[in-house]
């Protein structure tokens, strides 16, 4: 067991973001978290890395757990000049060889001397992944790591993640919107909407009524990821139940 | 050697420029330009307090700047934005400071010397205080450099690497208060922000890494001080403002040169294929 949450609840600005979350992640396992916007996916990650305090419940971590984290957004200010190599050496230095290897593992070879600001979206995500890999993490947290990548790019990115798992044997938790793309590379899916709606093998989850309800999917129209209209209606209905 | 007032002035200004360089870079990167300004305004209240309580100016300024910097950093993100808080705190303390000074009827106070500095009057004790302040700031910067840098890039990345971004911000804030407190004698309250920001901004186009930018900013800051001192001696102008003028001139020249001279620009890379 790498990390285990027991009845984790988080209240931020008097809003209950996470309710009674219990989950655990083992090494060598790829877990995907899906859920609509505002369902607390990023908050869950932030409470695991300690950026957001738990209101109740506990998070147990394996002692000496090394976490590699790839954030959802990383804005590099134009005023800050920094090369990929320098970025990889933050906060502590690594050998030239280790950096080269990490970039290779993330599929971003040869970018060492590039300015971080000038990378394309895909290159930037890979560099973030490479930096997360450098610390030889036991647990890798990827928050919508394929943001800004096209379908082919994100499919390739997920294959890369799967190769990383095979090579390093770390546990991987990723947040994603694209269950259909992630499915093949995932061992377990957790459907999050404040609480855990359903979890299990990807095939099980994608066929479950909770999943359909959460994403407003039509059983006949499986190709749609989710329909915004229905999704909003669900949220409104939920808000009403909370208010009442 | 230190008996010569020009030598003392040179040492003092070079020291402040060295400490201001890395701090100025962080201020530029974190978009805290107004923070430096606000801390400097609060320094006026510090001057007034020191004169009232007859304590050394440096101590009063340091205490007030620290108080203000820590209050603003801990209150930000709790319903007020940083610039609103800074606006309230900096002008309030400036106003209280000016009112407090008016009560001190017994002594004649040359407020101008605190607003614009009085570098030629730097004594041996001042020099010692400046040296200690500068060395403290440089040591803090060298010690926490990576941590502050990573927190500047992204606070969550820092947390995931076991670095507390709040603590790093505190280190930065304290360093800023120290620099303002020691620089008040050199360039005065109104021009401290220029000492911090202008060299860093000038260094940006030539820098590939954060360290390079801090290093170039230090060189630019020191040369602005040396030539500013010389110019103020030759033209008989106020020293602090002259240093800032030279610094600004460097900024303009460097940016023009960067635009006009092709080999200073990085080569175009064909990123296709």
Residues of A in contact with B210 (CB under 8 A): 80-82, 86
Alpha-carbon distance of B189 to B194, in angstroms, equals 10
pLDDT above 80 (res A23): yes
pLDDT at B269: 53
- Taking the Cβ of residue A71 and every Cβ of chain B, the question of whether any pair is shorter than 8 Å is answered with yes
Of A95, A112, A136, which marks where a domain is finished?
Answer: A136
A83 near B CB under 8 A: yes
* Residue where a domain stops, chosen among A118, A136, A154: A136
Residue with tokens 């979350």: A21
Q: What is the mean pLDDT of residues B68-97?
A: 80
Neighbours of B34 (CB within 10 A): 15
| Residue A226: pLDDT over 60 | no
**Are residues A197 and A219 located together in one domain of the fold?**
yes
Q: Is A222's pLDDT higher than 70?
A: no
CATH number at residue A39: 3.40.50.300
- Asked if B29's CB is within 8 angstroms of A80's CB, the reply is yes
Question: Is residue A99 located within the same domain as residue A213?
Answer: no
Interchain proximity B159–A83, CB inside 8 Å: no
- Answer whether A49 sits within 8 Å of B159, measured CB to CB: yes
Together in a domain, A132 and A161: no
Most A CBs within 10 A among B31, B79, B142, B160, hence the mutation to make, goes to B160
| Nearest Cβ partner for B156 among A46, A90, A91 | A46
Smallest Cα–Cα separation from A67: which of A172, A190, A146?
A172
Per-residue model confidence (pLDDT) at position B273: 38
A38 vs A166: CA distance, rounded Å: 32
Return d(Cα B181, Cα B40) in angstroms, integer.
Answer: 8
Q: Spell out which residues of chain A touch residue B28, defining contact as CB-CB under 8 Å.
A: 79
| Residue A106 sits in the same domain as residue A57 | no
- Is the pLDDT at B159 greater than 80, yes or no? yes
Q: Are residues A145 and A115 in the same domain?
A: no
What residues of B are in contact with residue A90 (Cβ under 8 Å)? 146, 149-150, 153, 161
* ipTM of the modeled complex: 0.81
What is the SS3 assignment for B188?
A: coil
pLDDT at B123 over 90: no
With contact defined as beta carbons under 8 Å apart, do B15 and B216 qualify? no
- Final residue before a domain boundary, out of A136, A159, A179: A136
Tell me how far apart the alpha carbons of residues A186 and A198 are, in angstroms, rounded to a whole number: 15
- pLDDT tens column, B109-119: 677 778 888 88
**Residues A132 and A199 placed together within one structural domain of the fold:** no
Q: How confident is the model at residue A228 (pLDDT cuts 50, 70, 90)?
A: very low
CA-to-CA distance for B199 and B178, rounded, in angstroms? 19
Tell me, what's the pLDDT at A216? 66
Contact flag B156-A92 (C-beta cutoff 8 Å): no
Claim to verify: residue A22 and residue A92 sit in the same structural domain: no
Three-class DSSP category at A30: strand
Q: Are residues A143 and A59 in the same domain?
A: yes
Query: Which pLDDT band, with edges at 50, 70 and 90, does B137 fall under?
Result: very high
Render pLDDT for B216-254 as a digit per residue (tens, 0 to 9).
999 999 999 999 999 998 999 888 889 999 999 999 998
By Cβ distance, the residue of A50, A79, A83 closest to B29 is A79
Question: What distance in Å separates the CA atoms of residue A144 and residue A150, rounded to the nearest whole number?
Answer: 13
At B114, list the tokens. Answer: 């605190």
The count of other CB atoms within 10 Å of the CB of residue A129 is 25
pLDDT given at position B266: 58
Looking at residues A31-57, what average pLDDT do you find?
87
Q: What percentage of chain A reaches a pLDDT higher than 90?
A: 7
CA distance B84 to B227: 37
What is the per-residue pLDDT across A104-120, written as a single tens digit (0 to 9) for each?
888 888 888 899 888 88
Least confident of A65-74, A228-237, B220-229: A228-237
Closest partner residue to A91 (CB to CB) among B28, B163, B213 is: B163
Substitution target in B156, B200, B207 with the highest count of A β-carbons within 10 Å is B156
| Same domain for A219 and A207 | yes
- Report d(CA A58, CA A42) in Å as an integer: 17
pLDDT the model gives residue B24: 94
Question: Nearest residue on chain A to B28, judged by CA atoms?
Answer: A79
b/e burial code for range B176-201 (CB count within 10 A of at least 16 → b) = bbbbbbbbbbbbbbbbbbbbbbbbbb
- My answer on whether omega of the bond before A91 falls inside 30° of 0, hence cis, is yes
Q: In A, which residues are within 8 Å of B207 by CB distance?
A: 81
CA closest to A140 among chain B residues: B160
Q: In the 8-state DSSP scheme, what is residue A194? A: S
Provide the pairing of β-strand A30-34 with A15-25.
Answer: unpaired
Contact criterion met (CB below 8 Å) for A170 and A201: no
CA distances from A86 to A51, A54, A91, B152, B210 (A): 24, 34, 9, 14, 9
- Residue B157 to residue B127: CA distance in whole angstroms: 40
Please give the structure tokens belonging to residue B216.
């170039």
Q: Compute the nearest-CA separation of A190 from chain B (Å).
A: 22
3-state SS class at A110: coil
Contacts of B32 in chain A (CB under 8 A): none
Specify whether the backbone of A50 is left (phi greater than 0), alpha (psi in -120 to 50) or beta: left
Tokens 């009403």: give the residue.
A240
> From CA B221, how far away is CA B232, in angstroms rounded?
16
Separation of alpha carbons B221 and B225, rounded Å: 6
**The domain containing residue A97 runs over which residues?**
75-136
Distance from CA of B169 to the nearest CA of A (A): 15
* Residue A154 CA, distance from chain mean position: 13
Predicted pLDDT of residue B245: 93
- Number of domain units in chain A: 2
| B contact set with A (CB within 8 A) | 28-29, 31, 146-147, 149-150, 152-161, 163, 204, 207-213
Q: Are residues A56 and A149 located together in one domain of the fold?
A: yes
pLDDT reported for residue A218 = 53
First to last CA, chain B: 63
| Strand-strand pairing, A171-175 and A139-143 | parallel
Q: What are phi and psi of A189, to 5 degrees?
A: -115, 135
Reported as a pLDDT band with limits 50, 70 and 90, residue A234 is: low
Whether residue A184 is predicted with pLDDT greater than 70 in this model: the reply is: yes
Backbone angles phi, psi at B28, to 5 degrees: -70, -45
Spatial CA neighbour of A8 closest among A32, A29, A24, A26: A24
Residue B129's Cβ-count burial label (10 Å; 0-12, 13-18, 19+) is buried
Paired residues of A171 in beta bridges: A139
Question: Are A19 and A93 in the same domain?
Answer: no
What residues in A contact B209, CB-CB < 8 Å? Answer: 81-83, 86
Q: What is the pLDDT of residues A94-105, one digit of tens each?
A: 899 989 988 888
Per the CB < 8 A criterion, the answer to whether B157 and A49 are in contact is no
Distance in angstroms (rounded) separating the CA atoms of residues A42 and A46: 6
Q: What is the mean pLDDT of residues B131-147?
A: 95
Contact A102, A88 (CB under 8 A): yes
Highest-confidence segment of A145-159, B71-85, B147-161? B147-161
Would the CB atoms of B160 and A67 count as touching at under 8 Å?
yes
Predicted pLDDT of residue A133: 87
Contact A81 B208 (CB under 8 A): yes
| A108 and A151 assigned to the same domain | no
Per-residue pLDDT, B202: 94
pLDDT at A244: 40
Residue A227 has pLDDT above 50, yes or no: no
Q: Which two tokens stand for residue A72?
A: 């959802």
The pLDDT value recorded for residue A84 is 92
Identify the structural domains of chain B with CATH numbers, from first to last.
5-192 (1.10.3470.10)
Residue in this structure with the two tokens 């979206």, named with its chain if needed: A121
Using CA atoms, how far apart are residues B102 and B216, in angstroms rounded to an integer? 42
């Amino acid at each position: 067991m790498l990390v285990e949450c027991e009845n984790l609840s988080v209240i931020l600005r008097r809003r209950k973001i996470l309710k009674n979350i219990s989950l655990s992640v083992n090494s060598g396992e790829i877990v995907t978290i899906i859920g609509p916007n505002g369902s607390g996916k990023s908050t869950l990650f932030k409470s695991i890395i300690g950026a957001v305090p738990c209101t109740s419940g506990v998070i147990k971590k394996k002692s000496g757990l090394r976490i590699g984290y790839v954030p959802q957004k990383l804005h590099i200010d134009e005023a800050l000049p920094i090369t990929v190599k320098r970025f990889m050496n933050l906060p502590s230095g690594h050998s030239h060889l280790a950096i080269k290897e990490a970039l290779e593992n993330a599929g971003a070879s040869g970018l060492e001397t590039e300015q971080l600001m000038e990378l394309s979206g895909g290159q930037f995500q890979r560099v973030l992944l490479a930096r997360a890999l450098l610390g030889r993490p036991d647990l890798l947290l990827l928050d919508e790591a394929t943001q800004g990548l096209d379908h082919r790019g994100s499919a390739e990115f997920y294959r890369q993640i799967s190769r990383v798992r095979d090579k390093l044997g770390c546990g991987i938790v990723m947040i994603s919107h694209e269950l259909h793309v992630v499915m093949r590379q995932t061992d377990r899916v957790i459907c999050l909407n404040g609480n855990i709606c359903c979890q299990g093998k990807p095939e099980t989850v994608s066929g479950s009524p909770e999943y359909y309800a959460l994403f407003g999917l039509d059983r006949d129209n499986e190709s749609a990821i989710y329909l915004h209209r229905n999704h909003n209606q669900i949220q409104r209905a939920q808000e009403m139940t909370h208010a009442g | 050697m230190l008996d010569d007032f020009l030598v003392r002035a040179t040492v003092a200004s070079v020291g402040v420029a060295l400490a201001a360089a890395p701090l100025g870079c962080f201020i530029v990167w974190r978009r805290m330009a107004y923070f430096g300004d606000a801390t400097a305004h609060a320094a006026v209240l510090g001057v007034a307090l020191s004169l009232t309580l007859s304590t050394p100016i440096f101590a009063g300024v340091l205490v007030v700047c620290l108080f203000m910097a820590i209050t603003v950093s801990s209150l930000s993100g709790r319903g007020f934005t940083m610039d609103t808080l800074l606006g309230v705190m900096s002008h309030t303390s400036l106003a209280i400071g000016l009112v407090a000074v008016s009560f001190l009827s017994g002594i004649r106070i040359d407020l101008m010397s605190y607003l614009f500095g009085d570098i030629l009057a730097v004594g041996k004790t001042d020099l010692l205080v400046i040296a200690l302040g500068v060395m403290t700031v440089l040591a803090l910067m060298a010690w926490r450099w990576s941590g502050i840098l990573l927190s500047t890039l992204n606070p969550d990345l820092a947390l995931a690497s076991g670095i507390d971004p709040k603590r790093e911000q505190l280190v930065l804030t304290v360093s800023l208060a120290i620099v303002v407190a020691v620089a008040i004698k050199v360039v005065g309250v109104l021009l401290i922000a220029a000492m911090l920001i202008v060299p860093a901004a000038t260094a940006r186009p030539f820098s590939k890494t954060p360290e390079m930018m801090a290093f170039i900013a230090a060189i630019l800051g020191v040369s602005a001080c040396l030539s500013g001192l010389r110019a103020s001696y030759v033209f008989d102008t106020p020293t602090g403002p002259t240093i800032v003028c030279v610094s600004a001139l460097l900024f303009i020249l460097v940016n023009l040169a960067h635009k006009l001279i092709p080999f200073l620009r990085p080569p175009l890379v064909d990123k296709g294929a």
